[in-house]
Structure 1
Amino acid sequence: MGDENVAGLVKELTDQLASIAHSFGTRADTLLSAPSSRPEAAGIAIHPVQMARSLLAQRAARLEHFPADLFHEPAWDMLLALYIAHEEDRIMNVKSLVSSAHSPVTTSQRWIDHLFKLGLVDRVVDPIDRRRIEVSLSQNGYRALETYLATLGARRV
Structure 2
Amino acid sequence: MKNETVVELIKDLTAKLSAVAEEFNGRVAKAAEPVPAGNEPNDAALVEHANAVLEQRRLRRKFLPGELFHEPAWDMLLALFASRDDRMPMNIKALVSMSDAPVTTSQRWIEHLHKLKLIDRVTDPTDRRRVEISLSYTGDQQMKAYLRALLRG
| Superposition TM-score, scaled by structure 2 size | 0.70
CA offsets 1:21-47 (integer angstroms, 9 cap, x no match): xxxxxxxxxxxxxxxxxxxxxx99582
Secondary structure, aligned partner of 1:119? coil
Matches within 5 A, 1:54-69: 54-69=52-67
Counterpart AA for 1:84: A
Tell me how far apart the structure 1 counterparts of residues 40 and 78 of structure 2 sit (CA, whole Å). 22
Counterpart AA for 1:109: Q
Secondary structure, aligned partner of 2:133? strand
State the match for 1:116 in structure 2.
Answer: 114
CA shift at 1:88, angstroms?
2.3
User: How large is the RMSD of aligned CA atoms in angstroms?
Assistant: 1.7
State the match for 1:87 in structure 2.
Answer: 85
Deviates more, 1:145-154 or 1:44-53: 44-53
Secondary structure, aligned partner of 1:129? coil
Give the conservation status (yes or no) of the 8 Å contact 2:40–2:148: no
State the match for 2:68 in structure 1.
Answer: 70
Secondary structure, aligned partner of 2:60? helix
Give the direction of change, closer, same or farther, for the CA distance of 1:143–1:78 in structure 2 (3 Å limit): same
Tell me how far apart the structure 2 counterparts of residues 74 and 45 of structure 1 sit (CA, whole Å). 26
CA shift at 1:128, angstroms?
1.6
For the pair shown, which has the larger CA radius of gyration, 1 or 2? 1
Give the conservation status (yes or no) of the 8 Å contact 2:81–2:143: yes
Give the conservation status (yes or no) of the 8 Å contact 2:118–2:135: yes
State the match for 2:134 in structure 1.
Answer: 136
CA shift at 1:86, angstroms?
1.2
Counterpart AA for 1:137: L
CA shift at 1:90, angstroms?
2.3
Tell me how far apart the structure 1 counterparts of residues 40 and 110 of structure 2 sit (CA, whole Å). 35
Give the conservation status (yes or no) of the 8 Å contact 2:54–2:78: yes
Secondary structure, aligned partner of 1:64? helix
State the match for 2:35 in structure 1.
Answer: none
State the match for 1:103 in structure 2.
Answer: 101
Moved runs in structure 1, 4+ residues, more than 4 A? Answer: 43-46
Deviates more, 1:69-78 or 1:81-90: 81-90
State the match for 1:10 in structure 2.
Answer: none
| Superposition TM-score, scaled by structure 1 size | 0.68
Give the direction of change, closer, same or farther, for the CA distance of 1:66–1:131 in structure 2 (3 Å limit): same
